[in-house]
Amino acid sequence: MRLRDLDLNLLVALDALLREAHVTRAAARLEMSQSSMSLALSKLRTVFNDPLLVKSGSGLVLTARAQEIAPRLADTLRHVDALMHERRDFDPSQAHDTVTLIVTDYIDFVVVPSLVKELARRAPHVILRIVGPNPTRFGEIFSSGEVDVSITYFPNPPASLRVRPLFRDRLVGVARRGHPLLAGAMDLRRFCDQGHVIVEPGQATMYNAQIEQALER
């Protein structure tokens, strides 16, 4: 197979598979679905003409070919990453590009207006494209190049993503004036006995997951 005919994202999947020796964990590492990772493994076996991972007892082990590939692949990916992210002079006023951004929930209202204003001032030829969130596919979406940046709550990002905290926030409860829950001390039973409005922005379930985890504690 010629290089131009190869989906180079398969090499990222192969690196995860060889590090984890487990399809499900490799998929989780890249925030991919298990079926997508299984398909990637099937394609990789064809590319390398080797099973790469074989069953041994209750798990998987690397073949001799996979053991040979693993350190060379990791080194290659490091070099590619350095090549892609090497520092160079950048003039935003001369940039002609489209930046695809994922934002969730209210962050759209908090950040985007100021961001658009700043882009218009500093990078007038850059187009900002905003798409809806799909937290279950973050790693897969980023590795495929579908998006460039996400501003969201993301507590356990895969190691392949570069992250930076922007600000801290907190959740609050809202109730009507005179609600019986507001009379007297709050406890877990009183809180859970009430009816609640649940807001799920698209597939962004992480906010309610945080509430559930806090209630469990």
Same domain for 75 and 136?
A: no
Same structural domain for residues 80 and 38?
yes
pLDDT in tens, 9-51: 889 999 999 999 999 999 988 888 889 999 999 999 999 999 9
> Residue 18's domain is classified under what CATH number?
1.10.10.10
Tell me, yes or no, whether 109 lies in a domain.
yes
> Considering Cα of 191, then 193, then 197, then 201, what sign does the dihedral take?
positive
CATH of the domain at 121: 3.40.190.10
Say what percent of the chain tops pLDDT 70.
88
Could you tell me if residue 164 is inside a domain?
no
Answer yes or no: do 78 and 99 share one domain. Answer: no
**30 and 70 share one domain:** yes
Instruction: Check the CA dihedral 166-171-177-183 and report its sign.
Output: negative
Q: Is the dihedral of CA 162, 167, 171, 176 positive or negative?
A: negative
Which residue matches tokens 């003039």? 91
- Both 81 and 23 in a single domain? yes
What are the tokens at 171?
């959740």
Using an 8 Å Cβ cutoff, are 48 and 65 in contact? yes
Phi and psi at residue 128, to the nearest 5°: -100, 120
Domain contains 162: no
Range of the domain at 122: 92-151
For 26-60, the DSSP string reads HHHHTT--HHHHHHHHHHHHHHHTS--EEEETTEE
Q: 97 and 59 in one domain?
A: no
CB 23 within 8 A of CB 34: yes
Query: Average pLDDT in the 147-157 region?
Result: 78
Tokens 């520092």, residue located: 87
**Does any domain span residue 170?**
no
Are both 15 and 67 inside the same structural domain? yes
Tally of structural domains, the chain: 3
The answer to whether position 41 is within a domain reads: yes
165-174: long-range contacts, CB 8 A cutoff, minimum separation 24: 171/207, 171/210, 171/211
Confidence tier at 125 by pLDDT (50, 70, 90): very high
> Do 43 and 116 belong to one domain?
no
Residue 58 belongs to some domain of the structure: yes
Of the three residues 85, 100, 120, the one that is the final residue of a domain is: 85
Q: Please indicate, yes or no, whether residues 72 and 105 belong to a single structural domain of this protein.
A: no
Q: What percent of the chain has pLDDT over 90?
A: 32
Residue of higher predicted confidence among 128 and 143: 128
Number of neighbours of residue 179 by Cβ within 10 angstroms: 11
> pLDDT tens-digit profile of 95-104?
999 998 888 7
In 174-215 the beta strands, taken as DSSP E runs, fall at: none
Indicate whether 103 belongs to any domain: yes
**pLDDT one-digit tens code per residue, 168-213:** 878 788 899 999 888 888 889 999 899 988 776 655 556 677 788 8
